């Protein structure tokens, strides 16, 4: 199972490198089902893995000039504050169990997994249905900011990232294209630097808790994922991500439905 898990880590990195998002949505299921990590701890591990992987992946975009730093700050700051607050205070404050259905207790871990799976379904829909913010693919078009919407989106994405440990690239990229009017390649590069900052800073919110972090495992998993994102960044110059997104979206959809079915059947 561990070998399959490490192949999953490589796949996650490849996806981040190729399409700038979506791959991180696989990290928590890989950790929970292939490495038997507790679901709540898996969301913390995922923040570190996704953050480090995205940071390395952003270097090539920096060299190519694909990061719009002003947009990264406008979107990133509220997102970083939201993810840190969620990890440091909201997640520890959630009751365990969350609630009872008849006589069945719904644990915090189960609730987070179900919420995560629903997010996977939403991510899959976004990748399958939306192959195109393409009308903006012109380098000459000036970047314009819709500050209230960008601020609100940053807070929402940061909170979701804090709850489920996913980078949120599938939410960030459409926001950058539609709200900041960035060309697609700049949106991908800018998304990676935002994901890196908010995920790594969000992870520090877990360090003050009582969770025991397995640093050796985290570093091995992260190194494999980093290898994937480097390979994906190289391949992205040759493979149009518009063709990859729908296929990956269907895979994420199947995974999300599987998790919902599995967890609900365990609950019954």
DSSP string, 136-182: T--TTSPP---HHHHHHHHHHHHHHHHHH----HHHHHHHHHHHS--
SS3 call for 127:
helix
pLDDT at residue 9 is higher than 80: yes
pLDDT in tens, 35-73: 988 888 888 888 898 888 888 878 877 888 888 888 888
Q: What is the percent of the chain where pLDDT is above 70? A: 86
pLDDT in tens, 89-120: 888 888 888 877 777 777 887 888 888 888 88
Mean pLDDT of 168-182: 75
pTM for this prediction: 0.77
Mean pLDDT of the chain: 80
C-alpha to C-alpha distance for 160 and 168, rounded to whole angstroms:
8
Torsion of CA 175, 139, 64, 6, to 10 degrees: 30
pLDDT at residue 221 is higher than 90: yes
C-beta atoms surrounding 239 within 10 Å: 12
Domain ranges of the chain: 2-267
Higher pLDDT, 207 or 254: 254
What is the pLDDT, as a whole number, of residue 138?
47
């Amino acid at each position: 199972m561990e070998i399959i898990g490490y192949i999953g880590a490589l796949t996650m990195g490849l996806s981040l490198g190729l399409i700038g998002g979506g791959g991180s949505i696989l990290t928590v299921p890989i950790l929970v089902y292939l490495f038997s990590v507790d679901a709540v701890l898996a969301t913390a591990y995922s923040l570190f893995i996704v953050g480090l992987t995205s940071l390395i992946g952003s270097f090539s975009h920096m060299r190519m000039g694909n990061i719009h730093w002003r947009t990264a700050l406008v979107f990133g700051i509220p997102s970083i504050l939201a993810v840190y607050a969620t990890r440091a205070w909201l997640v520890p404050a959630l009751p365990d169990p969350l609630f009872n259905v008849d006589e069945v207790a719904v644990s915090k871990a189960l609730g987070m997994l179900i919420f995560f799976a629903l997010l996977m379904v939403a991510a899959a829909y976004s990748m399958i249905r939306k192959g195109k913010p393409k009308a903006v693919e012109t380098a000459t078009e000036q970047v314009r900011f819709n500050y209230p919407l960008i601020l609100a989106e940053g807070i929402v994405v940061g909170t979701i990232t804090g709850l489920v440990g996913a980078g949120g690239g599938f939410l960030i990229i459409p926001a950058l294209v539609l709200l900041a009017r960035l060309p697609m390649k700049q949106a991908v590069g800018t998304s990676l630097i935002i994901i890196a900052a908010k995920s790594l800073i969000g992870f520090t919110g877990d360090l003050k808790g009582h969770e025991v972090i397995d640093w050796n495992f985290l570093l091995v998993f992260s190194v494999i994922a980093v290898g994937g994102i480097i390979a994906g960044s190289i391949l992205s110059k040759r493979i149009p991500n518009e063709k990859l997104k729908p296929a990956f979206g269907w895979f994420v959809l199947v995974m999300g439905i599987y998790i919902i079915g599995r967890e609900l059947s365990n609950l019954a």
